[in-house]
Chains A and B, each alone.
Chain A
Amino acid sequence: MTRMLDGRVVLVTGAAAGVGRGVAVAMGRAGAVVGIGVRRPEAATEVADEVREAGGVPVVLRCDVTDGAQSAAAIDQLVAQHGRLDALVHNAVSNRSSEPTDLETAELDLWEEHASVTVRATWRLAVQAHAHLRAAQGAYLLMTSPAGIEGSAPLPFYSAVKAAQRGFVRALAREWGPDHIRVNSIAPLAISPALENLRSTDPERVARIEGLVPLGRLGDPTEDIGPPSVFLCSPEARYVTGQTLVVSGGRFTSL
């Protein structure tokens, strides 16, 4: 798995923390130039250091994915500096994505927050990256969620937008197949900053969650979610497209 992305250029959105950060570090470990897409570049110093220490070349990019001009500029800057874009990983989610939603009273404003990051930006980033990915015969990888497959009672909006990404992946894989661009998604179960906080405030609840995972723990963003992400962005996965890989320690076996 090491150096699988030598000489390749990858952009990861939402890379400041959590799964995005772990995926960015794993991409660096695999030898990639890693565009670290973040809303606040000053918050990306640590992850840039981690990518560098792992063996990659970090490029911190201001990239609020709800701002089309900003995401286009981020892609352009990365390509201008490094000549190509081999893979785009859209991982960013709304800051309110893990906030339980009272569906019966929820306002459209909240829906818009979810949709703008997860549905609209999924489309817009694809359009903005298309020519570069076609030139590189590259890959577009979306971070979806098991909630987008099973449907989550407390997270109905998150479930819906993550499911929309799966429909997007299947259809776009067919549309972009002739361009030799692969389109896939990963549905991870991993430690997030919110879960880390919960571990200190309600360790029993985290233990209950972990008890449902056959492998007995929540995934590590770098060590568990990173490698399959690297694989799907690499030439080793050249015949894999239109798929969702569930990386959940066996928690979700019926999807």
Chain B
Amino acid sequence: MTLLVIGDSGIARAITVAMRAGDRSVATVTDTAVFEKRDTAAAALAAAIDGAAITTVVFAHLDPSGFRTAAITELTEPAWDTACERSLRHAFVALQQVHALVADGTPIVLVLPNVGAVGVAGLVPLCSAVEGIRVMAKAMARRWGARGITVNTIEVELAAFILGDLGAEGAGTAVPEVPVLGSPALAPGSAVADVVGLIDLLASPEGRAVTGAFLMADRGTVMLP
């Protein structure tokens, strides 16, 4: 019984480490360039799974170029594509191919940063991609419910998405400051432990009626109306 984690974000890596630390079998696809085409995506996913039964799928990927702060007027068309549209394309291709591979009843959980519902200046491509993927997941939830497949989205703080549990110095990756999102209501903790707990809940029998949902696991930073 294997959990499949897709993506090369810090949170994807950290979820993999945390799950393996709990003696779970985890298959990963971290080379997201395979999602440029459907056939390479299908091959990469099949190779990662290697015939194992998949219990849960976690998709936690956005193109890292989206994390660079820039005014939209400064972007070239290729820069817009990599910062926004590539992430949307990859999500579609990856999840389409996941659907072809998994058994009925498999839960799918997307993990994204909490920027799309609020909007952040300088991160327009990223916010666009996140919202597009989040609602793409809802459409998938509606379509795949007949197979018992649930599709839900968890959103975490941007730094947690980029870094996982690493400090900025450890990852060597710049994290944009987003004061507009506000401060967390809860004390600092492990974003990875928090999101792993929610993934387990959504994948458990207790979570079987939850699909198309959007759960904030950002310690009360963004509280939507």
Contact = CB atoms under 8 A, between A and B. Distances in A.
Contacts of B142: 151-153
Interface centre among B85, B139, B143 (most CB of A within 10 A): B139
Complex A-B, nearest 8 residue pairs according to Cβ-Cβ distance, in ascending order: A170-B119, A151-B138, A167-B131, A163-B135, A164-B132, A156-B139, A160-B136, A171-B127
A168 B127 contact: yes
Contacts of A162: 135
Size category of the A interface is: 35 or more
A168 B124 contact: yes
Contacts of B100: 104
B92 A111 contact: yes
13 contacts: A108-B92, A108-B93, A111-B89, A123-B80, A151-B139, A151-B140, A151-B142, A156-B143, A160-B92, A163-B135, A166-B131, A167-B128, A171-B124
A99 to B, nearest CB: 14
Given A130-B73, A173-B119, A175-B72, A151 B127 contact: no
Given A104-B100, A108-B38, A127-B73, A174 B80 contact: no
A163 B123 contact: no
Nearest to B38: A108
B159 to A, nearest CB: 18
A167 B130 CA distance: 7
A171 B117 CA distance: 9
Contacts of A164: 84, 88, 128-129, 131-132
Interface centre among B120, B132, B142, B143 (most CB of A within 10 A): B132
A180 interface: no
A150 B96 CA distance: 20
Contacts, number: 141
Contacts of A135: none
A169 B72 CA distance: 12
B136 to A, nearest CB: 4
Interface string A40-84: 000000000000000000000000000010000000000000000
A103 B96 contact: yes
B212 A163 contact: no
B134 interface: yes
B75 A167 contact: no
A188 interface: no
Nearest to A156: B139
B118 A159 contact: no
Contacts of A161: 88, 132
B47 interface: no
A250 B96 CA distance: 33
Nearest to B131: A167
Contacts of A172: 72, 119, 124
A126 interface: yes
A72 to B, nearest CB: 12
Contact of A156 (B73, B126, B130, B136): B136
B136 A159 contact: yes
B38 A174 contact: no
B106 to A, nearest CB: 14
A174 B84 contact: no
Contacts of B73: 127, 130
A195 B88 CA distance: 29
Nearest to B122: A175
B193 interface: no
A152 B142 CA distance: 7
